A and B are shown apart, each in its own frame.
Chain A
Amino acid sequence: MSIILSSTSQGLLWAIMAIGVYLTFRILDIADLTAEGSFPLGAAVCAQLLVNGWSPLWATLAAMLAGVLAGWVSGLLHTVLKIPALLTGILTMTALYSINLRIMGKANVNIQMNDTLITWLTDTGLSKNNAVLVLGIIAVTIVITILYLFFNTEFGLSIRATGNNEEMSRANGIKTGVMRVIGYMLSNGLIALSGALMMQNNGYADINMGIGTIVIGLASIIIGEVIFPKITLGKRLVMIVIGAIIYRLIIAAVLELGVAPTDLKLFSAIILTICLSAPLVRTKLLAFILPSKERKV
């Protein structure tokens, strides 16, 4: 029971990152690796500000803003300098490693003695696990509500059209470059927010905490897509949250089975590979089970 509870609460915090990845990966149709740098960036900024006595709320929002800036840089590299998206992400992520070290001043910043959003909640009498759960639910609800409204405005619709069909968008007067940059900014802002929340949950920021971020984000998205392949945007965002929770449950189960924590990244990659190949496997299985006449493609 406690594993389910902790996987759910962790999944909620990771889900915000996964939603951020979804904005670039699916809505803008860009594979952006900036996540690997903006996630620890959020953690680093938030940790350093907490240590310097900032209020947890402001520190968290500032961390998000730092992510927005990282996204802005990636966005400009991609749209103005026309660097391919994959390389753009690698460039920003590499640069952020040094920047994150600069921000933290060392490889690891401990905030266990500081107030955080989570201690605010435990001060009301909640247990640590329940506090994380409440924080996760509040944060996810706010993020999904705002994004849902945003993507139904004229502006949000234009961003979705840009990712879906650039030529059509330009023919309808949409400034696709600007839309991409804004998508990058939103995406990395959310990823940094997730990093800041996760850091408060862990009690410390670590320079290496970004490794594997993109794999976790993609796995959460794809698990949601494997369960429900075709749904509308609002439901999709909710499915990513469920996907992130399922992913945490799978990881918890793998650890229960006795896999060493050091092998976890290997298993993360294997899980993502299985998820990515699921649509193909499903088609092949159907073809194998059903006689050709009844087959639905």
Chain B
Amino acid sequence: MEKVLELKKVHKTFEVGTPNENHVLKGIDLTIHQGDFVTIIGGNGAGKSTLLNIIAGNFPVDEGTISLKGQEVTKKKMEARSKEIGRVFQDPRTGTATGLTIEENLALALRRGKHKRLFKMGIRKTEKEFFKEQLKRLELNLENRLKSEVGLLSGGQRQALTLLMATLVTPQLLLLDEHTAALDPKTSASVLALTNQVVAESQLTTFMITHNMEDALKYGNRLIMLHDGKIVVDVAREEKADLSVSDLLTLFHKNSGESLTDDSLLLA
């Protein structure tokens, strides 16, 4: 199976040399293959978001290497990695340009990682039909609001739109950073269902952070648990499918030598 992402001995420390020095990632080795739908859980400060951010290229790593599709990208910036990576953020305001219209946002997403040309119209007529078709899949009635400013949409609508934008050009890797955490339970469930559908349809290689153990078990075909900057649980396929929350807690205890209550994770 083809390797999509490969991390080797990745370390990241914040605020080096200050009293607040924080060694967040402590030698992460991780390989994600084509078609993996990985869910990541871990308590507060375990390093989930940092891990996702170094994959996306938000900030550089201190040690170790990152490869995307066999090419080393350790030193490449976020803009340069964007062609391969689609992202949905925790904050619904982050993933879209709220002052631009729905069609303008989609037009930018359609050109993700491509050179932006001066003498090409930002939105072409033929693209509008494509945008409408794509928006219909969200079942949010957004296909009739191409010219609405994204700032007028609700958090759930924006996350659905961001998900569509992130996958409009099929990414090699889809990064989801607790993308339903800021939504109410009902909206959260529908955005998650949509995510699952989109990932399944296009067989996307996906990396999803969640704070919810049930969701982590329910979705995806591989589960990783981070603790104190290290991977302590990594289960896939049938082994993951048979897992329950209590199995997971036992596994965590066995691998990390610490006990953990269901609550401390859920509340993190």
Using a CB–CB cutoff of 8 Å, the interface residues on chain A facing chain B are 150, 152-158, 160-161, 163-165, 167-176
- B159 close to A (CB within 8 Å): no
Q: Which residue of A lies closest to B85 (CB)?
A: A171
- B83 close to A (CB within 8 Å): yes
Secondary structure type dominating chain A contacts: helix
Kindly list chain A residues whose C-beta atoms are within 8 Å of the C-beta of B56: 171
Among A155, A160, A168, A171, max chain B CB count under 10 A is at A171
Using a CB–CB cutoff of 8 Å, the interface residues on chain B facing chain A are 56, 77-80, 82-83, 85, 87, 89, 93-100, 104, 107-109, 111-114, 116-123, 165
Contact at A158–B116, with CB atoms within 8 Å?
Answer: yes
Q: Which residue of B lies closest to A182 (CB)?
A: B118
A172 to B78, CA, bound (A): 9
A53 to B79, CA, bound (A): 48
B75 to chain A, nearest CB (A): 16
Contact at A154–B111, with CB atoms within 8 Å?
Answer: yes
Kindly list chain B residues whose C-beta atoms are within 8 Å of the C-beta of A152: 121-123
B226 to chain A, nearest CB (A): 23
Name the contact of A157 in the complex, choosing from B85, B104, B165 (C-beta under 8 A): B104
Contact at A172–B82, with CB atoms within 8 Å?
Answer: yes
Kindly list chain B residues whose C-beta atoms are within 8 Å of the C-beta of A160: 97, 99-100, 104
Contact at A153–B97, with CB atoms within 8 Å?
Answer: no
- What are the 3 A-B residue pairs with the smallest beta carbon separation, nearest first? A173-B82, A173-B113, A157-B122
Contact at B116–A174, with CB atoms within 8 Å?
Answer: yes
Q: Given A161-B100, A164-B99, do A153 and B118 touch, yes or no (CB 8 Å)?
A: yes
A175 to B87, CA, bound (A): 17
B39 to chain A, nearest CB (A): 21
Contact at B79–A164, with CB atoms within 8 Å?
Answer: no
A165 to B114, CA, bound (A): 18
Contact at A164–B100, with CB atoms within 8 Å?
Answer: yes
A167 to B98, CA, bound (A): 12
A158 to B100, CA, bound (A): 11
26 A-B residue pairs with CB within 8 Å: A152-B121, A153-B119, A153-B121, A154-B116, A154-B118, A154-B120, A154-B121, A155-B116, A157-B107, A157-B108, A157-B122, A157-B123, A158-B108, A160-B99, A160-B104, A161-B108, A164-B98, A165-B97, A165-B98, A167-B94, A171-B87, A172-B109, A172-B111, A173-B112, A173-B113, A175-B79
